[in-house]
Amino acid sequence: MSDLEVMKESQLELIIEREPLNADNARFMLGKLQIEGTFPEAVPRNEKKGINWIKTAVKNGHLAATELKVYYDIRFAKQPDIKKIEAALHLCAEKANSAKACNTLAEFAHA
């Protein structure tokens, strides 16, 4: 195996099912891998399924999932809800100290 080991889809699903304290981290990782298709040998690309994992983690207050969902919405939403996006960016900037969220908010203010 290489230096970089990626858990398989089934392994992440087991964590979600059996480890409530780590479930949202596993949802985030599984969703991200499914959306991006980065390691298809471990987790097949499935954007719809991936975004659903991310949405669940967001509902549970997972900040990394919230930030990923914000940038997904900025890029791909047919009618992005700017107020909702700005609120999520503020949350990520304040709670997660996200420089990327701060930069995006500055870009919104400049525009």
| Residue spans per domain, the chain | 1-60, 61-111
Give this prediction's pTM. 0.90
Q: How confident is the model at residue 1 (pLDDT cuts 50, 70, 90)?
A: very low
3-state helix, strand, coil in the chain (%, to 5): 70, 0, 30
How many residues belong to the chain? 111
pLDDT digits (tens, 9 = 90+) for 68-93: 999 999 999 999 999 999 999 999 99
